[in-house]
Chains A and B, each alone.
Chain A
Amino acid sequence: AQTVTQSQPEMSVQEAETVTLSCTYDTSENNYYLFWYKQPPSRQMILVIRQEAYKQQNATENRFSVNFQKAAKSFSLKISDSQLGDTAMYFCAFSLRGGSEKLVFGKGTKLTVNP
């Protein structure tokens, strides 16, 4: 069974600064995907970024980037130039490759961006 661990229940950062959220996972499989989802107070689950395990290059989406270390089973999210709208719960999630696999979530990190 796969597990996902987010060791930081809460974090805070000043506006315009950079913050890194940690995520580790455990699996014996080789083909899988990793995701970061954002859940603002509106409750909507929003995909931030995804990483295919077979790709060595780290994924980036504008101010969001990941540090994917497959051997260490680590998948951290870096948010640059933090904005007030980044305040949200952030969930790391794992999915096997296959098309209809479930997402396994970590417990989330509550990020607060301070003005």
Chain B
Amino acid sequence: DTAVSQTPKYLVTQMGNDKSIKCEQNLGHDTMYWYKQDSKKFLKIMFSYNNKELIINETVPNRFSPKSPDKAHLNLHINSLELGDSAVYFCASSPGKTYQETQYFGPGTRLLVL
């Protein structure tokens, strides 16, 4: 009965490869997010979707492409991986309604680019 789940939990790959991370939430929330946590533990928003529509895109290289097939899923595809993409990527969701701003996080995906 996991609320926000991500797959895979760990991803080790070579520079130049393309990879995807999947996220699913079973909370019935309307909004989903991707955050990146760098090696210094700093967390920063990358994207958010509300009901399958992109609403936040924070100066992220266009090698990163989010896709939301339905409001319960938000996937992150990364092309031509670079060393600097190594990080932990967190998916989160929230109801998407005023006065219900709390975000619930998935377990994170640790990406290591060699």
Q: Which residues of chain A have a CB within 8 Å of any CB of chain B?
A: 33, 35, 37, 39, 43-47, 50, 52, 89, 91, 95, 97-105, 107-108
CB-based closest 6 A-B pairs = A45-B105, A102-B45, A100-B31, A105-B43, A99-B97, A99-B98
Q: Is the interface of B mostly helix, strand, loop or mixed?
A: strand
B68 CB to nearest A CB, Å: 13
Residue of B33, B100, B103 with highest tally of chain A CB at under 10 A: B103
Beta-carbon contact of A103 and B41 below 8 Å? no
B90 near A35 with CB under 8 A, answer no
A102 in contact with B88 given A43-B108, A91-B43, A95-B101 (CB within 8 Å):
no
Alpha-carbon distance A104/B102, docked complex (angstroms)? 13
Closest to A43 in B: B108
**Residues A100 and B94 in contact, CB atoms below 8 Å apart:** yes
Chain B interface residues toward A at CB < 8 A: 30-31, 33, 35, 40-45, 48, 50, 55-56, 58, 88, 90, 92, 94-105, 107-108, 110
Q: Does the CB pair A44–B107 fall under 8 Å?
A: yes
Most buried by B among A52, A95, A97, A101: A101
B105 CB to closest chain A CB, in angstroms? 4
B103 touches A103 (CB 8 A): yes
Question: Is there contact, CB below 8 Å, between B105 and A44?
Answer: yes
CA–CA, A44 and B96, complex, Å: 22
